[in-house]
Amino acid sequence: MVGRTVITCSESELQRFLIIIIASLGFLILLKHFIFFLSWILHTFLRSEKDLIGTYGSWALITGATDGIGKAFALGLARRGLNLILVSRSSGKLRSVSEEIRAEFPRSEIRTVEIDFSDDGGGGGGMKRLREAVLDGGAVDLGILVNNVGITYPEARRGAIVNIGSGAGIVVPSHPLYAIYGATKA
């Protein structure tokens, strides 16, 4: 008979072994979450700002630039040193917002374009007028489009497009106390 070695293990040794295995797995899972959390802190709070002008271009076009998110984007991009093309359907609001931005950021060049894309009729006249207005003051290094009104923008060699939208009319069809807003967005 060939000799066989039988390893016996007491119950307490088996329990210790299982506890070590489970504790090691728990430690690895906690370590993974801790590394993820540190990475998030680094990317959210400690990284340097991206050079928008060097990366994308010195001009930003913002549609719907006179209220809400569009206005906030306009102020933020002017703060970062970009020149702005503000597009809205209200000439009075365009004048007011551009004066506000010029007062706070006098080094930013600002062009305004009054276009109501809802009256475009699908013929592309609004986009043609926008192109003419953008090129009217000379060629610009347009690198960022903040798209609040759903215009289509031709692809370029470089740049960034920020599409702003709302799912209010589609995702949750019944908004309590927001029926008009949901219907308008739909």
Tokens of 81: 């040193």
pLDDT band at 154; cut points 50, 70, 90: low
Distance (Å, rounded) from C-alpha 28 to C-alpha 39?
Answer: 16
Share of the chain above pLDDT 90, in %: 33
Give the pLDDT confidence score for residue 135 in this predicted structure: 73
pLDDT band at 3; cut points 50, 70, 90: low
| Greater pLDDT, 101 or 164 | 101
What is the pLDDT averaged over residues 162-176? 63
Provide the 10 A C-beta neighbour count for residue 117. Answer: 17
Catalytic residue among 56, 153, 178, 181: 181
Q: What is the pLDDT of residues 108-117, one digit of tens each?
A: 999 988 888 7
When the pLDDT of each residue in the chain is averaged and rounded to a whole number, the result is: 81
Helix (H, G, I), strand (E, B) or coil at 114: strand
Q: How many CA atoms lie within 13 A of 8 on its CB side?
A: 1
CATH T-level fold of 52-163? Rossmann fold (3.40.50)
Share of the chain above pLDDT 70, in %: 75
Q: Is 181 a catalytic residue?
A: yes
| Greater pLDDT, 132 or 185 | 132
User: Domain coordinates of the chain in residue numbers?
Assistant: 7-47, 52-163
Whether pLDDT at 89 is above 80: yes
Highest mean pLDDT among 150-154, 158-162, 169-173: 158-162
Whether pLDDT at 170 is above 80: no
Distance (Å, rounded) from C-alpha 53 to C-alpha 184?
Answer: 36
Q: Are 168 and 86 in contact (CB under 8 A)?
A: no
Tokens of 28: 């690895």
| Greater pLDDT, 53 or 65 | 65
What is the pLDDT averaged over residues 46-67? 85
Torsion over CA of 162, 89, 127 and 155, rounded to 10 degrees?
A: -10
Whether pLDDT at 177 is above 80: no
Give the pLDDT confidence score for residue 142 in this predicted structure: 83
Whether pLDDT at 58 is above 70: yes
